[in-house]
Amino acid sequence: MNWRRLNGEKITMPIKKMVKETIIRETGLGHRLKVCIGTDSQVHGSVIEFATVIVFLREKKGGFMYIHNDKMQQKMGIRERMILEVAKSVEVAYNLCDLLDKYHIELEVHADINTDPHFKSNVALKEAMGYILGMGFVFKAKPDAFASSSCADKVV
């Protein structure tokens, strides 16, 4: 996976190593951290673009994120696409959870799924919630899922 910063700078080391260095640096500066992971997608014809983000929140001191973009050429329905977004976020969270536990960093997995049944994405809400909670992660959906619905949405 190729990761980058918001300014476009490529992250050349494995993301887990980068996250560890980030945690050590930020906690060394006295920041209390929380990590939120989310994915958003956009459909352009038969191409689906995804953006997955790892958002670091510094308590009362702002935040920053690392970004991974990828594309897939495949037709799929809204439910399948929402679950795929969640799967991408869960994969990253699962890869980082032991590290975050070691440093006592709170982790949330955000799903770009609306809790209002009037929105199309709501068809995947129960499955996404079950998937994320079943993996042992804290689940957030819209309007509280800013990592996916705001951060990832801006970079997809």
Per-residue model confidence as pLDDT tens digits over 16-62: 999 999 999 999 999 999 999 999 999 999 899 999 999 999 999 99
Residue 56 gets which letter from DSSP?
E
Question: What is the DSSP code (8-state) at residue 149?
Answer: I
Cis (ω within 30 of 0) for the bond into 143?
yes
Query: Where does 37-145 have alpha helices with state H?
Result: 78-102, 125-134
Report which of 128, 152, 156 is spatially closest to residue 140, judged by C-alpha positions. Answer: 128
Q: How far apart are CA 74 and CA 47, in angstroms?
A: 6
pLDDT digits (tens, 9 = 90+) for 82-133: 999 999 999 999 999 999 999 999 999 999 999 999 999 999 999 999 999 9
- pTM (two decimals): 0.95
Residue in 106, 94, 92 with CA at minimum distance from that of residue 134: 94
Decide: 15 and 94 in contact? Cβ < 8 Å: no
